[in-house]
Amino acid sequence: MNDKQVLKGYEYAKEQYEAVGVDVEAAIAKADSIPVSMHCWQGDDVIGFDGPGELTGGIATTGNYPGRARTPDELRSDIGFAKSMIPGAVQLNIHACYAEKNGKNIDRDEYTIAEFQNWVDFAKELGTGLDFNPTFFSHPKMDGNFSLSSLNPDTRKFWIEHGKRCNEIAHEFCKQTGKTSVVNYWMPDGYKDICADTKIHRDLMTESLDQIFNSSPKSENVVYSIESKLFGVGIESYTVASHEYSYGYALKRGLAYTLDAGHFHPTEVISAKLSACLQFLDKVALHISRGVRWDSDHVIIWDDELQNIMDEIIHNGFEERVYIGLDYFDASINRIACWIIGMRNARKAILNACLAPVESVRKAEREGDYTSRLALMEERRTLPFSAVWDYYCLKKDVGIGREWLDKVKEYERDVLSAR
């Protein structure tokens, strides 16, 4: 498609949206400014650089598509390349296992900003902030799948120190990038089979988390968040940090709560939880993922749930209270394409939410006219969104339509295939 065609399509689309009361330029500007956190771990199958080189502990990647990033530099160039085809404000999300120890013999309980300085410099180059995650998996100090709630005090001590280090490091990120840093806590702790004592681990988890947060620096721009999960791979029967646990902890301690789209019963959706959680919590973080039957973490597609999530955020004015992040890992297709597809889809859904003529639908609802409510909701679906999206991509110079795919194929030929 050439630029002239895009502009022509945009003129038509703009008129259509204006006819239903939408200011298209304002919608584009708003959609462009909302940050989406891009998870570095899609690029290397969540393996990281500080450990034994395999992923263990409740999550799994499947597939062996060639071209996995094997070094920090490879991962950073893949991210940089992907970002050139991703429009809108981006945060970069990294895990503690992406530390670069540079030959130093230190463990996760001793990390400082030094092990992440390359990531900070990279984020600054990209103009993004850095989100962070302590890594409570893929490590010999895990007690089976237990970390902060292990019955072994030495194990707990190690992971408590790890949490503290990560919180300190995030403050450095913040200082250096000048941007907010969300520190997300996900602990796989739990049992494969039915357990006899569900309480003891939760007591210990609370004690450990309290120790971490009671002696961590606090500032407005570092947001600590606790992620819940229904079950993990090999942790099917009991998870310590379940929904009620994590939500309750966050609420009581004034932290944020992370809703991962793949962490609930298959008929539950996180879009339905947002305005409920935000009645009581200040902030919520999102891990947008796509569960397929089990804890599968497929690449997110632009489906109804993704749209509903963004509608809930934007139509309720929650942009400042919800930190949007992605969390999936597919090793069966080109990993860079995974990032681009997911990040572009997230942005499409944000833009589409900003373009929705929501006031007229809400007015119908308030007036009890549920016929119009349904009719208008359905009419929204066929508004000429794609013409606005193409125009936005043209403006941002990120490739229109499928153009980005040719570039990814070229990169695969020239760079990835040599790995």
Binding region for ligand RNT (CB under 6 A): 41, 46, 59, 95, 133, 186, 227, 229, 260, 287, 327
Taking alpha carbons only, the member of 209, 201, 274, 288 closest to residue 237 is: 201
Catalytic option among 263, 273, 283, 348: 263
For residue 267, the Cα-to-chain-centroid distance in whole angstroms is 21
**Nearest residue (CB) to ligand RNT, 82 versus 286:** 286
- C-alpha span between 32 and 362 (Å, rounded): 25
Contacts (CB under 5 A) with Zn ion, residues 325-354: 327
Catalytic option among 131, 327, 330, 390: 327
**Nearest residue (CB) to Zn ion, 205 versus 351:** 205
26: its two tokens: 């304002």
**Binding string, 291-330, against Zn ion, x = CB under 5 A?**
------------------------------------x---
Query: Smallest distance, Å, CB 225 to ligand RNT?
Result: 10
Catalytic option among 139, 229, 243, 273: 229
Q: Which listed range, 115-123, 146-154, 155-163, 280-288, lies at the site for Zn ion (CB under 5 A)?
A: 280-288
**Active site includes 186?**
yes
**Active site includes 407?**
no
- C-alpha span between 118 and 99 (Å, rounded): 9
**Active site includes 107?**
no
**Active site includes 295?**
yes
**Active site includes 11?**
no
**Active site includes 287?**
yes
104: its two tokens: 């130093």
Query: Smallest distance, Å, CB 256 to ligand RNT?
Result: 14
**Nearest residue (CB) to ligand RNT, 94 versus 355:** 94
213 touches, from Zn ion, ligand RNT, none (C-beta below 5 to 8 Å by class) = none
**Nearest residue (CB) to ligand RNT, 27 versus 40:** 40
**Nearest residue (CB) to Zn ion, 297 versus 312:** 297
Burial label for 244, CB within 10 Å (0-12, 13-18, 19+), is: exposed
287 binds Zn ion, rule: CB under 5 A? yes
Query: Smallest distance, Å, CB 234 to ligand RNT?
Result: 12
**Active site includes 171?**
no
**Active site includes 260?**
yes
CB 320 within 8 A of CB 86: no
**Interface ranges with Zn ion (CB under 5 A):** 260, 287, 327
Active site residues: 186, 227, 229, 260, 263, 287, 295, 297, 327
